[in-house]
Structure 1
């Protein structure tokens, strides 16, 4: 037996020496460079690939099957003049004997100067298409292929084929690689340059340290980024499970969207892709971009179908203003320079690759806390859906600061000031009607943006501050799509009053169309009827029902094209600086031919009710049924409000209800002849003047004097003539004096 063992050992040693000798002979007597043409043809036939070998082929056979290529290019056989890959050097070697056990044991793999260029032409054809498909052989295509059943592999072969390939590579190094893509149809370009990849030993089931760095760029928009990825790769091909542990991604980016600013970003976490379970996870996620720092986790299911995303996200408090400015975004000027100084957020995430839903959202912006749900239903159309509830928000902080008035407004302010000075204490002539435009013609609506919006928004606030007005229990429901924005509901409480409104904004055409219907109840009028820091000309609780429409895209065009109607009622109010007793006293003193003994002292006039209807036509509101109820007096009239220049023009009549009314001066004591007469006032001038724009209507007063004189003369005729003349003549004489 010992002799047999020795003989077998000698035989195996001899065979090994023969194999080594054959390997030496093959590698020294056989030169693969002599067969470049055959290799190229084989690539054309088997892979539809045009292979150009400009450099030498280096190789070894045993115990390592080694290969080294230099200056190699690859192209599709259909476009051989357009290589999609260039390679400066590729070097690898594989142990021969482990290959028989389906084990790939390799030394270092080195790839230098790989340049991968993918292009799609104007017809949409890519220079990489049809690669890997065998070239068509016309003779073979025309020959019918006999159908036969392939023989069953041997049992041992079955077992061997079922075994997975085992990888064992000492390291992988990719140096100075480049990738570029260009689409001639869209003009889109993408590139990755200076790609460096290094790994330690690659073995299945083991932790494989790796490092990858590259410079990326795009042209639409122009962007440049530098990135580096470090981590430990672990994979199991049998289970189709791949992990990237201790991921560390860092980099910085700049470009057109950042307006010459640079953003520094980083990400950490544990990545897992399980193709058997069709899931992908990013756990222990940490992300930062300049001042922004976030934590979370993401999970994706159904990778082979429409992926389903779930997870959570938490963003630590940061300065949103500084962050946006660091991204090159110019913020509009705000009344509060510290607005947007703090933002933090937490939410649960769910969605698909084309949508995202943020549930259980809690967002804190400055001093405001918002909770609810926000969703982007379709990223391609930016379809936004939101249901939010807020505690308190001061909108004035985020609005533009009060700026200097434009030229039209400045001119009108000068006109109002001049009229106010001329009005004095009410003894001056009637003010002239204003002529200066009161509104700006600057564009207001962002037309292009509104046409793109697709949103459904429902927001509730416990407290709001807008234009210094405290608003409580505010509720807003609105939606917009393709340029049609509908205000479904707007409700709010103000100063113990209530506002309810709805409306539409249609920007689908060149000229925007607007409509609003509103109901106001129990609202303190003086809080809102106030212009250019002037005191309100009226106080009281306002009830209003209005329905208006207009068109245009500026304050001026909105007012110029305003049409609609409104019913108004002021209750328990005061006419500010409106001394109706003094106006009435002057009129009576004039008829009594007496001088007032007291100087006029401006005071307010309280009223019980003031009501009427407005019909607005192209910015002018006609009020045919103005009525007011004042203790001892009844007031009625008609007139108009020219909203374009904020001017009023009214004819008002004051009716004394009885003869017991106390007057402010002995010269204007009421006698029974004055009771029941309608005493005339004319009000004209800027709306800001209020009652200061009113004067005694001298023409109307003359008619009253003529009427009273006629009545006095009639009495004397009756006394003198008695029954001496006929009734017909007496009536004729009375009629003569009444004219």
Structure 2
């Protein structure tokens, strides 16, 4: 037995020496450079490749099958004059014996100076097409040969088992340096590229972590962008399970180009990536994404990758200044009334989406001290189907609205000047002539509504907030619901409390034509009118609790068009009201003193006129509001009015009748004490001029006052005649006859 073992050992040793000697002979006596033409022919016929080898081919056989190519070009046989790859050097070596067991054990693989250039021509054909597809004649021959080849016997099971055995990779390292990739499309003009590619890895072995580092400069021309990036981490893969992991991902870089408008954005991404193609899932755990000062944490999960991909996850954005962030990436926020708006933004939400949709669920948004919660979603990117369901504690919407339009200010400058000239020198109760009606248009002719965008809107909006500041009004318990589709927008419901009162409204906008139609219905109850005027920065010309119901319609796409086409009705009532700086008592007292032919000994001290109720209705016709039923109740007086308010120029022409009801209370001046014969007499006032003047535009109607004086004089004469008749006739005639005689003078 010992002799047999010794003999076998000598045989094995002899075989090894023979193999080593054969490998030495092959590598020194056989030169692959002598077979370049044959290699080119095989590449052309078997792989559809036009192979150009300008450098030397170096090789070794045992125990490593080594290969080194230099100065090599690759092109498709269809476009042999358009190489899509140039390679300065490729070096690799494979251990020979493991190949017999379908194991690929390689040492370092080095790729130096790879230039991959992919291009499509005007017809859409790529310069790489045909690669892997041998010429038709050769392919036909191969097909014929395959058909003529006898089938493998069914009983031979060794070959299938060997073929079914998976390949096992074992590579010491992979190095790619000084390489680039470029792609251009002649039809679209688009170009993409990656330059200065440098890739290094550690040992590449299935199931084990593979250290990886990649550097590259990416670029595109539409738009012009350049991104310098570095990727690091450990790659782990299992080809049998189709499971791939990227552990310790760290991607950093800088981006610049046209979209950034001269700015540079620095970015970094970290986390753990996992793709399980068998389960059709992918995950990005421990996600951290930073862009300049934007800091984001979260995780993302995707499933159904091969059918209808869906994803979900969480996202948290730390507090940041949105304006500064956008400015840092070359973008600019639109001008806002508050230059500190959006200085503080913070977001926490859950994500859900598909290829066509995105939803932010359980959203918690902190915006400049306000907190909003709820849901934001785009149900369909193609139709911009926006869905909003938000609730909040408070929101000052005025901060985010555009500042006052300079054009509007310029357009109304002439009208304001006109008002100022009229107001100069006029005080409440002045005896100067009535101001003239204003003539300057008060509204801008600039287009307001973006009709094309409105026609594309598909929205459903539900919004509620504890306190909303809008147009300087503190709207409490505010809620609204709105929707839009196919160019039709509807405010289905708006509810709010305001200074203890209530507001309700609904509206519609039909933007399907270039002359949009607008409708509005509103209800206001117990709202202090002076608070509304103060919010509009208007003078407090009246105080009281306002009730209002209105139904209006208009058309057009500018302030001027809306006012000029305004039609509808409005009913209002003002309870416990006060006319501010409008001393009707002073006007009335002066009139009574005139009728009494007495001089006032002092001016009344009161500056305002209180009334218990003020009400009426307005009918709007092409921007002019007509009122024929104004009524106001003042202690001792009833005020009636009728006239027009021209909203086009914010002017008024209004007549007021003051009915003396015989107030018997003490008056501050004997000259204006009310005599019984003045009871029931309606004193006339007329208000004309700019609406901003309020009561300052009102004067005692002298013509009407003259008629009253004439009537009073006639009444006084009639009283004297009646007295004489009573004295002369006494009881000599019947009362009926005396009444008839008195009546003769009243005709």
Please report the TM-score for the alignment, with normalisation by the length of structure 2: 0.90
1:314-337 per-residue CA deviation (whole Å, 9 max, x = no partner) reads 222233332222222223344444
Q: How many residues align?
A: 735
Cα distance change, pair 659–375 in 1 and its aligned pair in 2 (3 A): closer
**1:645 paired to 2:649:** yes
Query: Residues 422 and 431 of structure 1 are in contact (CA less than 8 Å); yes or no, is this contact kept in structure 2?
Result: no
**1:624 paired to 2:633:** no
1:543-600 per-residue CA deviation (whole Å, 9 max, x = no partner) reads 1112223344443443333332211111111111222222223333333333333235
The one of 598, 601, 608 equivalent to 1:594 is 598
Residue in 1 that maps onto 2:505: 501
CA distance in 1, matches of 2:569, 2:516: 20
Structure 1, unmatched stretches of 5+, are none
Residue in 2 that maps onto 1:16: 16
Residue in 1 that maps onto 2:47: 47
- Kindly state the Cα deviation for residue 512 of structure 1 after the two structures are TM-superposed: 4.7
Residue in 2 that maps onto 1:408: 411
Residue in 1 that maps onto 2:230: 228
CA distance in 1, matches of 2:519, 2:159: 81
Kindly report which structure 2 residues correspond to 1:121-160, keeping only aligned pairs within 5 A, or say none: 121-137=121-137, 150-152=152-154, 154-160=156-162
CA distance in 2, matches of 1:27, 1:126: 39
DSSP 3-state at the match of 1:528:
helix
**1:423 paired to 2:423:** no
Residue in 1 that maps onto 2:494: 490
CA distance in 2, matches of 1:310, 1:353: 12
DSSP 3-state at the match of 2:373:
strand
CA distance in 2, matches of 1:726, 1:631: 38
Kindly report which structure 2 residues correspond to 1:653-664, keeping only aligned pairs within 5 A, or say none: 653-658=657-662, 660=664, 663-664=667-668
DSSP 3-state at the match of 2:342:
coil
More displaced, 399-408 or 284-293? Answer: 399-408
1:297-330 per-residue CA deviation (whole Å, 9 max, x = no partner) reads 2211122221221222222223333222222222
1:411-449 per-residue CA deviation (whole Å, 9 max, x = no partner) reads 333332332233223221112222233334455445565
1:677-712 per-residue CA deviation (whole Å, 9 max, x = no partner) reads 322111112222222211111222233233334444
- Kindly state the Cα deviation for residue 473 of structure 1 after the two structures are TM-superposed: 0.4
**1:239 paired to 2:241:** yes
Query: Residues 206 and 238 of structure 2 are in contact (CA less than 8 Å); yes or no, is this contact kept in structure 1?
Result: yes
Query: Residues 467 and 476 of structure 2 are in contact (CA less than 8 Å); yes or no, is this contact kept in structure 1?
Result: yes
Cα distance change, pair 646–219 in 1 and its aligned pair in 2 (3 A): same
Residue in 2 that maps onto 1:97: 97
Cα distance change, pair 183–385 in 1 and its aligned pair in 2 (3 A): farther
Residue in 1 that maps onto 2:670: 666
CA distance in 2, matches of 1:178, 1:299: 33
Residue in 2 that maps onto 1:694: 698
DSSP 3-state at the match of 2:703:
helix
Query: Residues 585 and 663 of structure 1 are in contact (CA less than 8 Å); yes or no, is this contact kept in structure 2?
Result: no
DSSP 3-state at the match of 1:691:
helix
CA distance in 2, matches of 1:382, 1:83: 44
The one of 296, 300, 303 equivalent to 2:302 is 300
Cα distance change, pair 241–60 in 1 and its aligned pair in 2 (3 A): same
Cα distance change, pair 87–171 in 1 and its aligned pair in 2 (3 A): same
Query: Residues 265 and 288 of structure 1 are in contact (CA less than 8 Å); yes or no, is this contact kept in structure 2?
Result: yes
DSSP 3-state at the match of 1:113:
strand
Residue in 2 that maps onto 1:66: 66
Query: Residues 571 and 608 of structure 1 are in contact (CA less than 8 Å); yes or no, is this contact kept in structure 2?
Result: yes
**1:615 paired to 2:615:** no
Residue in 2 that maps onto 1:108: 108
Cα distance change, pair 49–483 in 1 and its aligned pair in 2 (3 A): farther
Cα distance change, pair 188–517 in 1 and its aligned pair in 2 (3 A): farther
Please report the TM-score for the alignment, with normalisation by the length of structure 1: 0.91
More displaced, 342-351 or 726-735? Answer: 726-735
More displaced, 134-143 or 490-499? Answer: 134-143
Cα distance change, pair 37–331 in 1 and its aligned pair in 2 (3 A): same
DSSP 3-state at the match of 2:425:
helix
**1:542 paired to 2:512:** no
Residue in 2 that maps onto 1:560: 564
The one of 191, 207, 210 equivalent to 1:208 is 210
Query: Residues 585 and 664 of structure 1 are in contact (CA less than 8 Å); yes or no, is this contact kept in structure 2?
Result: no
Kindly report which structure 2 residues correspond to 1:126-525, keeping only aligned pairs within 5 A, or say none: 126-137=126-137, 150-152=152-154, 154-400=156-402, 406-424=409-427, 425-442=429-446, 444-445=448-449, 450=454, 453-481=457-485, 483-525=487-529
Query: Residues 578 and 602 of structure 1 are in contact (CA less than 8 Å); yes or no, is this contact kept in structure 2?
Result: no
More displaced, 385-394 or 722-731? Answer: 722-731
More displaced, 56-65 or 604-613? Answer: 56-65
DSSP 3-state at the match of 1:260:
coil
CA distance in 1, matches of 2:290, 2:76: 43
**1:708 paired to 2:712:** yes
